[in-house]
A and B are shown apart, each in its own frame.
Chain A
């Protein structure tokens, strides 16, 4: 049934439908409404789960490790500084192969302090071994949580996932979503069957130390498992379509791309504004399109190279900056298209909540056509 509600509450409802058994979480803007709603559901017995109030994000994810290793479906949510505080634990979760799903309400990192949106936080953890999915709207955000559990808990995968959605821009926006029923989600998402678990009757330790003779092989296995996610996402994304009528089998999605000469590559809510700008440019006869990245880790290089093979110019919209280099998506796209004659330009845009308008998207097409790129877009020159 379609209903209208705040993004955070739509996500909390979707998490409830996934029947998590343990939720260790620490509130932080703009993620707070999600964990508040979940805490309320637990208190009101609408959700049968253990909600653990912790003293920091480090503790939150550490408690997730214990809960997941003990065999529970585990959930948490965070953003920005909270995710930064989880840095060490994130690598542990992936190395221990624990299928934890965590919402990331994407927000900028300090300093300077900013509560507003960009994607620096999750991008900074791109090397941690977590699956990273990005949502364009609230429907996708709530759906991806259900899909993420299905993928993560597959014994061929056994990896954790970030479900990323732009803080405030999606988390605090009221818009209509199709909310699945409990029966529908139960039919799609079976109960969690741990591959192995902590058990006092049959003790086991997770994440033991590996000497130089073994460490590389463990890392290689993590890499192989993460790369297997591409296939799992196609399979379970298509299955999602059969169950719910919304197909998520594609790791990347084209919009007006078939005959495009200039293609944007973007991730998250900026895709919506970009699509509206593309419609207006198309009406003016400009052959512009978009390739939306839904899955950033594993990175779908082959799918991107094939989707963009016919375009002349690519304009990458990066809501992050790998300081001292370029935007993270731009770097990956240049790698994916290495050896082709396609011009790739990277635009750092919308950092720390700077609003992105249709006219900005159009201005970037003009810049790309002139061959001007690899830059911060929209700087206020008077401040520099």
Chain B
């Protein structure tokens, strides 16, 4: 795959650095509690939380480092962090 002219990149998609394997905890999103405010998506340092419906967000687990910021900031407590079985 040739290089992008000007060393450009799209957000959220590093060529090499799939950071998902760092995870110890992973986020579980509750559709019922979600208010659709979008703070989780904005706060995510990897930019890997995508909105798929008005009140439904999903993380890209290839990149989610399990930092838990989304769960910490979610005003509706709609995100829970759970230990991942590897």
Chain A residues packing against B (C-beta within 8 Å): 95-98, 158, 195-196, 203-208, 210-211, 213-214, 217-218, 221
Contacts and interface: CB of A to CB of B under 8 A. Distances in A.
A196 B9 contact: no
Contact of B11 (A203, A207, A211, A218): A203
Nearest to A205: B9
B5 A206 contact: no
Given A203-B10, A203-B11, A205-B11, A97 B5 contact: yes
A96 B7 contact: yes
A98 B6 contact: yes
Given A211-B16, A213-B16, A218 B3 contact: yes
List 7 A-B pairs, minimum CB-CB distance, nearest first.
A97-B6, A208-B9, A96-B6, A205-B9, A97-B5, A203-B11, A208-B7
A11 B67 CA distance: 56
Interface string B5-24: 11111110001100000000
Interface residues of B, number: 10
Contact of A221 (B5, B8, B11): B5
Contacts of B16: 211, 213
Contact of A95 (B7, B9, B15): B7
Contacts of B10: 203-205
B7 A207 contact: yes
A218 B15 CA distance: 14
A206 B10 CA distance: 9
- Which secondary structure characterizes the binding site on chain A? loop
A217 B10 CA distance: 19
B75 to A, nearest CB: 26
Nearest to B11: A203
A84 B86 CA distance: 54
Given A211-B16, A213-B16, A158 B6 contact: yes
A206 B9 CA distance: 7
Given A211-B16, A213-B16, A206 B8 contact: yes
A213 B1 CA distance: 13
Give the interface centre of B5, B7, B8, B11 by most chain A CB atoms within 10 Å.
Answer: B7
B33 to A, nearest CB: 29
Given A211-B16, A213-B16, A196 B5 contact: yes
A355 B72 CA distance: 71
Given A96-B8, A206-B6, 4 more contacts: A95-B7, A97-B5, A97-B6, A204-B11
A318 to B, nearest CB: 33
Contacts of B9: 204-205, 208
Contacts of A196: 5-6, 8
Nearest to B17: A211
Contacts of A214: 3, 15
19 contacts: A95-B6, A97-B5, A195-B6, A196-B6, A196-B8, A203-B10, A204-B10, A205-B8, A205-B10, A206-B8, A207-B7, A207-B8, A208-B8, A208-B9, A210-B7, A211-B16, A213-B16, A217-B3, A218-B3
A361 to B, nearest CB: 44
A196 B6 CA distance: 9
A138 to B, nearest CB: 34
A217 B5 CA distance: 11
A207 B3 CA distance: 12
A82 B11 CA distance: 34
A32 B6 CA distance: 31
Nearest to B5: A97
Nearest to A196: B8
Given A211-B16, A213-B16, A204 B8 contact: yes
